[in-house]
Amino acid sequence: MRFSRLLIPTTKETPNDATLASHIYLIRGGFIQSVGGSGLYNFLPLGKKILDKVRAVVKEELDKAGCQEVSLSFVTPAALWEESGRLEKYGKELLRFKDRKNNDFILGPTHEEMMVNMVRQSVKSYKQLPLNLYQINLKFRDEIRPRFGLMRGREFLMKDGYSFHASTEDLQREFALMEETYKKIFTRLGLEFRVVDADSGAIGGSGSKEFMVLADSGEDTIVVCPDCEYGANIEAAVAQSKSYDASTEIKVVTMKALYDEGVTEIVEFVLEESELLEEVKACNSINANDLVDVENPNTVDRRMIDNNLKECTVYENPEYADISAVQEGDACTRCGGALHYSKGIEAGHIFQLGTQYSEPLAANFLDENGKAQPMVMGTYGIGVSRLLAGIIEQNHDDKGCVWTKESAPFDLQIIISNIKDEAQVALGEKLYAAMLEKGVDVLLDERKDRFGAKMKDYELIGVPHAVVIGKKLADGVVEFIIRDGMKKEEVSALAIADLLLERF
Ligand SMILES: [Zn+2]
């Protein structure tokens, strides 16, 4: 591709609302463009190209694992969400609208109902199971405060997959396969990540895992062990229990628990003075839907005591649960290592659903005995457009993007310093033609602009390698650059073609 023909509106201006490196550089590098500052983005040619490359990696690995791609209707009839019961529960993030006949529709933030509806019409027997179907399509979530560019936009590209099984054991086999497949995808994209246990409410422990891209700017706190593979979202993290003695200072956190149908309860949570209440764990311990603060309640309906206080409390008929947050330095339950906190960006989530959707939506199959059973389901997501942001959060410097090999918009950029210099142009064109011939994805910067501006664009856009053909060509020398660290190496102009052919 010739730079002079390409739509890359790079800019020095940092967008007003941008704080994250990925947001700043994806806009400044001309990859994406904000649409009216409303959490909606256009993908310009380079952004679209990277999105397609990331999408291709996701698709390749999924297809290798036996998954099948489909494409579901983008607009979802609200009636399907009524069947599953989600239409009522889902808040204002769900975009709802009517058509000309006054029928209700939504734009789906996920597609469990749509996929179940498709499968229940065509799968009737255990002989047709298992199935793993996915799509890579736009989703819409009407975020109250869209922010951080592609990290938390309203419209986003997501891979959502759903598996259907005749038994829980078979779901668990597929779940493990998807974990391995996701690891391959994230590794190929050059990401540093952790697979962490996530809160999965009633389903429990290993039923839900998140793929966290490690980055200081991440919104999620994760607990990781430096000595083994253990990792968990703070909401689901566990540590070896601590035993406090009888003289331990305790504290009581009183909250109002909310249950279905407007039922409430005042609950006291008791824990050691220095511990922090982990609200999701606390909420799960009493099977409540939510906890809210309450001031000076008259009564206490229930009391839940932290497991760490088992040795030293004096309440009658005490109830115990793990309700305290894991702290840095706590001991790993697997290996005893000192746990520490890290920040992560959630870029993937795999979940053992069971029959949560297949029962209400009557997605049944006939088992070997001819008996109708609800299909057992798993669901698997990857935030594809969010991955672009994740890659840049992990791979940038103070000048711009540093794309990884599989995500880079081009493999190589050839920069002609002065296009009025015939020798520079001749060598640039010759290398460009040779690289194209070899099938290397190469960008030739042959614009009339100043050299300084071209280098600034190179650093901002972040193509992994470059050749700079400049003044020193008169002495028979060009420069080869590795974007990661801006490592420069002088190479003989006679040898550069061979060096490139060898490298690419
Ligand atoms: Zn460990």
Q: How far is the CA of 243 from the centre of ligand 1 (A)?
A: 20
Residue extent(s) of CATH 3.30.930.10 domains in the chain = 3-237+340-394
Q: How far is the CA of 10 from the centre of ligand 1 (A)?
A: 45
Q: How far is the CA of 192 from the centre of ligand 1 (A)?
A: 18
CATH homologous superfamily, domain 3-237+340-394: Bira Bifunctional Protein; Domain 2 (3.30.930.10)
Q: How far is the CA of 183 from the centre of ligand 1 (A)?
A: 19
**β-pair partners for 268:** 254, 303
Q: How far is the CA of 226 from the centre of ligand 1 (A)?
A: 7
**Residue (of 442, 403, 473, 434) closest to 3 by Cα position:** 442
Amino acid symbol at 86: R
Cβ contact 344:218 at 8 Å: yes
Amino acid symbol at 219: E
- SS3 string, 416-432, reads ECCCCCHHHHHHHHHHH
Q: How far is the CA of 175 from the centre of ligand 1 (A)?
A: 22
Q: How far is the CA of 197 from the centre of ligand 1 (A)?
A: 13
**What is the spatial distance between Cα 462 and Cα 484, in angstroms, rounded to a whole number?**
8
Q: How far is the CA of 65 from the centre of ligand 1 (A)?
A: 29
Residue extent(s) of CATH 3.30.2010 domains in the chain = 250-321
In the prediction, which pLDDT does 101 show?
97
Q: How far is the CA of 233 from the centre of ligand 1 (A)?
A: 15
Which class for 369: exposed (0-12), middle (13-18), buried (19 or more C-beta within 10 A)?
Answer: exposed
Say if strands 104-107 and 95-98 run parallel, antiparallel, or are unpaired: antiparallel
Residue extent(s) of CATH 3.40.50.800 domains in the chain = 412-503
In the prediction, which pLDDT does 206 show?
59
In the prediction, which pLDDT does 202 show?
46
pTM reported for the whole predicted model = 0.89
Q: How far is the CA of 153 from the centre of ligand 1 (A)?
A: 35
Phi, psi of 317 (to 5 degrees): 45, 55
Q: How far is the CA of 336 from the centre of ligand 1 (A)?
A: 6
Q: How far is the CA of 402 from the centre of ligand 1 (A)?
A: 32
Q: How far is the CA of 339 from the centre of ligand 1 (A)?
A: 7
Please measure the distance between the N-terminal and C-terminal CA atoms of the chain and give it in whole angstroms. 17
The highest-level CATH class for domain 412-503 is alpha beta
Q: How far is the CA of 229 from the centre of ligand 1 (A)?
A: 6
Q: How far is the CA of 218 from the centre of ligand 1 (A)?
A: 22
Two tokens at 325? Answer: 């947050």
Q: How far is the CA of 353 from the centre of ligand 1 (A)?
A: 28
In the prediction, which pLDDT does 147 show?
86
Cβ contact 116:70 at 8 Å: no
Q: How far is the CA of 322 from the centre of ligand 1 (A)?
A: 19
H or E segment and range at residue 501:
helix 496-503
CATH 3.40.1350 holds for 250-321: no
- Greatest CA separation for the chain: 92
Q: How far is the CA of 228 from the centre of ligand 1 (A)?
A: 4
Q: How far is the CA of 215 from the centre of ligand 1 (A)?
A: 21
| 206: three-class secondary structure by DSSP | helix
In the prediction, which pLDDT does 203 show?
45
pLDDT block averages, 10 residues each, the chain of length 504: 96 90 96 90 97 98 98 94 89 93 94 95 97 96 88 92 97 97 98 87 66 92 92 91 85 94 94 94 92 90 93 84 95 96 95 93 96 96 96 97 97 98 97 96 97 98 98 97 97 95 90
